[in-house]
Amino acid sequence: SRDWSSDVCSSDLDRAWFAHQAQAATLSTKGQLRFARHSGHVIQQDRPRQVIDAVRDLVALVRAEQRTS
């Protein structure tokens, strides 16, 4: 997998935050780490398309799993 930290981190604190976020994403078999560039803390307002795409991807994944079980 790609190391995104060099793309999004400009300080040691950013790199530590990124490392914790990346680790948290591994706690689920469906975990993903996505970036909403040029957004603040209200991602759904700043980058709604990215939020919609992420939700749709998860719904599609769950539905596909249900069809195979």
Q: Is the pLDDT of residue 16 over 80?
A: yes
Output the pLDDT for position 7: 60
Rounded Cα gap, residues 11 and 5, in angstroms: 10
Q: How confident is the model at residue 6 (pLDDT cuts 50, 70, 90)?
A: low
In degrees and rounded to multiples of 5, residue 59 shows phi and psi of -60, -45
Share of the chain above pLDDT 90, in %: 48
How many alpha carbons lie under 13 Å from residue 11 in its C-beta half-sphere? 3
Rounded Cα gap, residues 29 and 14, in angstroms: 25
